[in-house]
């Protein structure tokens, strides 16, 4: 009853956990998706329509070409008259200053009352005509404005713009108004430009209203398409009129997407679309990779990369940062393939690409190109242990991008000169960015607790500090580990295991012997320290090499997968030599079997099982009195069969067929190692019979 309750509780927890992951992923992705409307058709003039029948989803106007509208607006602007209003205070201020200066010295300088009267009259004429700033006059000329409206009190009258004055033209007019009766030289001496200031100011608000009203008379539409009306069908050529209709439909679709109701529909569609894809992905995991739900690091990685690339694409499209074809989407299947498996890499890539596609204007080409790139990445990068592997994969991905895109352009373009070369530059940048997968893998390793082949290769370097110390302090153990690594790696290759993982694990499985190397036969040179100890003490010293190995692994920051080999290579077996010797000498005495038993656990993967078999077989092979095919075969069968009988592989995903294959590999390798050498003849000297 309690077991049933515990199972129900566990099932409910798993369901809640999955629901939370699902909701969190969908919420984050949909939050960043752009809400702007899209017109998901690609078309061009004089090109065939490559989609099905298109009918008008609603009534919309057929907009004129922008160049035509601009031309019509320019024509209407000939009648545009900006509004200026008189500023009487400017005129009064200037004339008052002239009068004051005349009474306080200007008369004594050069300006006689006769001249003063002339200047006063001409200035009034200038101010009546209107004075504007030089900048405003330049703007009127550049805009080809022929006349303006001058507002005074409640009246406004049109006036040609070329009759207005600037300070410069007003000053010249003042000097040349009457050259017969008045000397220009005398007028120049009086600095009359000090009395000329702009008295017209642009009424921007009124002018903009007039301009808007005038431009509003130009119609943007040249017709109307009614809802349900046929626009174009598959294979028809897009002519000028159809092109304008399609452009108008595109413009109206985007405009309509801005309404609140439309926004709600878009968000609802996005939630449904992303939710369905994530649900299918989680069903795949539940059916084929249920163990990933127990491995929190693996599950976190899958959803993290999906969210990352989806959000990145959404932001790039929303803010038009870069072209999406620069993004190395193939990095996603590479990462999943390296850390998990190829099938999951394909599924994750598929789901992510489909989510990203709804943010794009032309999703068909995007999906096609990214699918092919993903296939190439998964197939070409079966193992990442060297930088050259990634360079090769990046090159193949760029090549596949370019080849597929070129084929699509040949299909849809009838002129090879119209090929979009910028796309191939985007593919090249994509390939360069793809090389950053190498350091990115290191970051993911530390974040999600994985161990890549790159790390395993680095750890298996015998110049590594820990392995070098093992070769110096315990050379026999080091040689034993090397032989076990070769045996185990070959066996892993034959049964589809991870050869690099088991090779590295084998090199480190006995590092605990560094603490007491002399207590292990492979490191002894005539002196056996076990003779001074009891069987129980000797057993504990030998068993402790597992504990000591785990401590050294922790101290040297070895990954968990390597620690698994250290803890499982003896499983829960016994130190048989001391255990059997003790029982033989004390047949009637009760024995504490725990004293002679390794702490375990037993192997729980193909790789740890292979190492247990290789370790025992290699160690035992050294004690054979003679190395014949029969003796080697019997030894391998005896040791591995006894391990199977003792239940060491009971909870390990290894089949009897795999075990039989491993036996064959060990027999082949041991026969090669211990082959009979040919005796070399000695050279006979001349004269000696």
- Determine the average pLDDT of the residues in 152-156: 78
Same domain, 521 and 665: yes
Same domain, 463 and 420: no
- Determine the average pLDDT of the residues in 292-308: 86
- Determine the average pLDDT of the residues in 509-533: 88
CA 72 to chain centre: 47
The residues with which 149 forms a beta bridge, in sequence order, are 83, 158
Of 410 and 268, more confident: 268
Residue 65 has pLDDT above 50, yes or no: yes
Q: According to DSSP H, which parts of 60-87 are helical?
A: 66-76
What pLDDT shows up at residue 641? Answer: 94
- Determine the average pLDDT of the residues in 96-108: 73
Same domain, 312 and 176: no
Of 254 and 211, more confident: 211
Of 320 and 634, more confident: 634
Residue 309 has pLDDT above 90, yes or no: yes
- Determine the average pLDDT of the residues in 239-257: 78
Residue 601 has pLDDT above 90, yes or no: yes
3-state secondary structure 615-653: HHHHHHHCCCCCCCHHHHHHHHHHHHHHHHHCCCCCCCC
In-domain check, residue 682: no
Residue 689 has pLDDT above 50, yes or no: no
In-domain check, residue 192: yes
Same domain, 663 and 533: yes
In-domain check, residue 102: yes
3-state secondary structure 289-328: CHHHHCCHHHHHHHHHHHHHHHHHHHHHHHHCCCCHHHCC
Cα separation of 479 and 471, whole Å?
8
* Residue from 161, 94, 103, 157 nearest 124 by CA: 94
Where does a domain end: 215, 248, 277? 215
Neighbours of 678 (CB within 10 A): 6
Pairing state between β 83-86 and 147-152 = parallel
- Determine the average pLDDT of the residues in 441-460: 82
Where does a domain end: 186, 215, 244? 215
Long-range CB pairs of 106-109 (<8 Å, 24+ gap) are: 106/190, 109/189, 109/190
CA 242 to chain centre: 39
Our count of domains for the chain comes to 3
What pLDDT shows up at residue 37? Answer: 56
pLDDT 10s digits, 27-54: 999 999 887 655 666 677 777 776 678 8
Residue 688 has pLDDT above 60, yes or no: no
Where does a domain end: 381, 414, 439? 439
Cα separation of 444 and 451, whole Å?
9
Same domain, 475 and 418: no
pLDDT 10s digits, 171-220: 888 888 877 777 778 777 777 788 888 988 888 888 888 888 887 777 67
Three-state DSSP at 202 gives strand
Pairing state between β 54-55 and 83-86 = unpaired
Domain that holds residue 157: 76-215
Same domain, 435 and 460: no
Residue 258 has pLDDT above 60, yes or no: no
3-state secondary structure 347-362: HHHHHHHHHHHCCCCC
Cα separation of 349 and 437, whole Å?
15
Same domain, 563 and 432: no
- Determine the average pLDDT of the residues in 308-326: 86
Cα separation of 155 and 149, whole Å?
10
The residues with which 85 forms a beta bridge, in sequence order, are 151, 201
Same domain, 428 and 458: no
What pLDDT shows up at residue 685? Answer: 65
For residues 86, 88, 93, 98, the Cα torsion angle rounded to the nearest 10 degrees is: 90
We report the CATH number of the domain holding residue 587 as 1.10.3210
Q: How large is the greatest C-alpha to C-alpha distance in the chain, in angstroms?
A: 155
Can you read off the two tokens belonging to residue 35?
Answer: 């809400």
In-domain check, residue 247: no
- Determine the average pLDDT of the residues in 493-508: 92
* Residue from 248, 266, 247 nearest 257 by CA: 266
Contact 248, 61 (CB under 8 A): yes
Same domain, 469 and 558: yes
Cα separation of 66 and 428, whole Å?
36
Residue 321 has pLDDT above 80, yes or no: no
Same domain, 318 and 390: yes
pLDDT 10s digits, 105-142: 655 455 677 888 888 888 888 888 888 888 888 888 88
What pLDDT shows up at residue 167? Answer: 86
Counting residues of the chain whose pLDDT is more than 70, the rounded percentage is: 91
Q: According to DSSP H, which parts of 340-496 are helical?
A: 342-357, 363-380, 387-412, 421-434, 437-448, 453-459, 465-473, 475-494
In-domain check, residue 302: yes
In-domain check, residue 474: yes
3-state secondary structure 81-147: CCEEEECHHHHHHHHHHHHHHHHHHHHHHCCCHHHHHHHHHHHHHHHHHCECCHHHHHHHHHCCCCE
Lowest mean pLDDT among 92-96, 213-217, 285-289: 213-217
When pLDDT is cut at 50, 70 and 90, the band that residue 531 belongs to is confident
Lowest mean pLDDT among 40-44, 207-211, 364-368, 425-429: 40-44
Same domain, 565 and 507: yes
pLDDT 10s digits, 643-677: 999 999 998 999 999 999 999 999 999 988 876 55
Same domain, 483 and 539: yes
Cα separation of 244 and 62, whole Å?
7
In-domain check, residue 57: no
When pLDDT is cut at 50, 70 and 90, the band that residue 682 belongs to is low
In-domain check, residue 590: yes
For the chain, give the mean pLDDT: 84
């Amino acid at each position: 009853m309690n077991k049933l309750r515990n199972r129900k509780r566990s099932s409910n927890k798993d369901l809640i956990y999955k629901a939370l992951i699902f909701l969190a992923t969908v919420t984050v992705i949909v939050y960043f998706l752009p809400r702007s409307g899209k017109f998901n058709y690609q078309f061009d003039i004089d090109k065939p329509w490559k989609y099905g029948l298109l009918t008008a989803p609603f009534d919309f106007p057929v907009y004129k070409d922008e160049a035509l509208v601009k031309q019509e607006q320019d024509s209407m602007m000939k009648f545009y008259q900006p509004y200026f209003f008189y500023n009487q205070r400017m005129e009064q201020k200037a004339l008052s200053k002239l009068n004051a200066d005349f009474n306080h010295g200007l008369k004594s300088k050069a300006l006689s009352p006769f001249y003063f009267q002339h200047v006063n009259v001409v200035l009034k004429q200038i101010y009546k005509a209107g004075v504007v700033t030089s900048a405003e006059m330049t703007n009127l000329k550049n805009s080809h404005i022929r006349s303006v409206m001058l507002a005074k009190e409640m009246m406004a009258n049109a006036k040609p713009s070329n009759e207005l004055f600037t300070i410069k033209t007003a000053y010249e007019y003042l000097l040349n108004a009457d050259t017969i009766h008045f000397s220009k030289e005398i007028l120049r001496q009086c600095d009359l430009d000090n009395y000329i200031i702009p008295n017209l100011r642009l009424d921007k608000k009124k002018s903009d209203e007039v301009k808007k009203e005038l431009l509003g008379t130009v119609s943007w539409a040249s017709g109307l398409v009614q809802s349900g009306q046929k626009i174009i069908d598959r294979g028809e050529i897009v002519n000028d009129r159809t092109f304008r209709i399609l452009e108008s439909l595109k413009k109206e679709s985007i405009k309509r997407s801005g309404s609140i109701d439309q926004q709600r529909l878009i968000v609802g569609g996005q939630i449904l679309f992303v939710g369905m894809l994530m649900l299918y992905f989680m069903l795949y995991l539940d059916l084929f990779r249920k163990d990933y739900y127990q491995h929190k690091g693996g599950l976190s990685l899958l959803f993290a990369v999906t969210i990352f690339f989806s959000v990145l694409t959404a932001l790039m499209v929303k803010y038009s940062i870069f072209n999406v074809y620069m993004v190395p989407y193939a990095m996603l299947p590479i990462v999943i393939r390296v850390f998990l498996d190829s099938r999951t890499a394909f599924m994750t890539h598929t789901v992510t690409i489909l989510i990203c596609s709804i943010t794009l204007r032309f999703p068909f080409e995007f999906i096609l190109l990214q699918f092919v790139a993903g296939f190439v990445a998964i197939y070409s990068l079966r193992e990442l242990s060297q930088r050259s592997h990634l360079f090769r994969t990046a090159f193949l991905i760029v090549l596949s991008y370019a080849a597929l895109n070129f084929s699509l352009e040949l299909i849809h373009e009838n002129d090879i000169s119209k090929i979009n070369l910028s796309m191939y530059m985007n593919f090249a940048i994509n390939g360069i960015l793809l090389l950053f997968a190498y350091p990115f893998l290191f970051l993911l390793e530390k974040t999600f607790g994985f161990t890549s082949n790159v790390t395993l290769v680095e750890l298996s370097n015998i110049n590594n500090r820990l392995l070098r110390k093992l070769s110096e302090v315990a050379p026999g153990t080091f040689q034993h580990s090397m032989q076990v690594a070769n045996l185990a790696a070959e066996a892993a290759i034959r049964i589809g295991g991870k050869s690099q993982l088991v090779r590295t694990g084998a090199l480190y499985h006995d590092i605990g012997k560094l603490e007491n190397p002399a207590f292990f036969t492979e490191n002894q040179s005539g002196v056996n320290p076990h003779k001074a100890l009891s069987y129980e003490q000797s057993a504990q010293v030998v068993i402790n090499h597992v504990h000591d190995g785990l401590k050294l692994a922790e101290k040297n920051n070895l990954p968990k997968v390597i620690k698994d080999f250290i803890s499982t290579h003896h499983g829960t077996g016994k130190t048989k030599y001391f255990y059997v010797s003790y029982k033989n000498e004390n047949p009637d005495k009760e024995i504490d079997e725990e004293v002679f038993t390794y702490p375990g656990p037993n192997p729980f993967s193909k790789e740890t099982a292979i190492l247990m078999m290789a370790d025992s077989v290699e160690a035992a092979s050294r004690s054979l009195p003679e190395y014949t095919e029969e003796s080697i075969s019997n030894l391998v069968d005896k040791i591995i069969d006894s391990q199977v009988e003792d239940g060491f592989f009971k909870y390990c995903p290894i089949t009897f067929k795999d075990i039989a294959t491993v036996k064959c590999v060990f027999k082949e390798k041991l026969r090669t190692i211990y082959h009979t050498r040919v005796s070399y003849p000695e050279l006979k000297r001349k004269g000696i019979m």
